[in-house]
Amino acid sequence: MNSLKILSLIIMALSVSGYAKRDPTRPPGMSSFQSGEVIAERKLKLQGLVTGVSPWVVINDMVIKQGENKKGIKVITIKPEKVLVLYHQKKQWLKWQSIDIKNSAKKSFNK
């Protein structure tokens, strides 16, 4: 009798954990990806850039060294003002938006 209780508890636990992993808003019988769905591409944002012997960049809050691949973003080349990445099988340049603090301060002060 004791082994029957244990077996039924194990079966209940397995069925509940499988149910809990599903998306509660998805109708029954639908898979996680339906044909015709469009998966949105994230916009890549270059947030930091370091050149030199061991160049690296910060893209979308991730530090990535030249030649590395993180979350589908591969950094191919790092130049002083731009970075060449491969993302979703497309090469694209991300440009560094530098700010001239000295001239910005002068313009603000002279207004």
Q: From its phi and psi, is residue 72 left (phi > 0), alpha (psi between -120 and 50) or beta? A: left
Q: What integer pLDDT is reported at residue 85 of this predicted model? A: 95
- Give domain limits for the chain: 46-95
Q: Which helix (H) or strand (E) holds 58?
A: strand 56-59
One digit per residue, pLDDT tens: the chain, 111 residues?
577 777 676 776 665 545 555 666 666 655 555 544 444 567 899 999 998 899 999 999 999 999 999 999 999 999 999 999 999 999 999 998 866 666 665 666 666
Pull the structure tokens for residue 4.
Answer: 């029957």
Q: What integer pLDDT is reported at residue 69 of this predicted model? A: 94
* Closest to 94 measured CA to CA, from 72, 78, 111, 70: 78
Q: What integer pLDDT is reported at residue 28 of this predicted model? A: 61
- As beta bridge partners, residue 78 has 83
By CB neighbour count within 10 A (0-12 exposed, 13-18 middle, 19+ buried), where does 34 fall? exposed
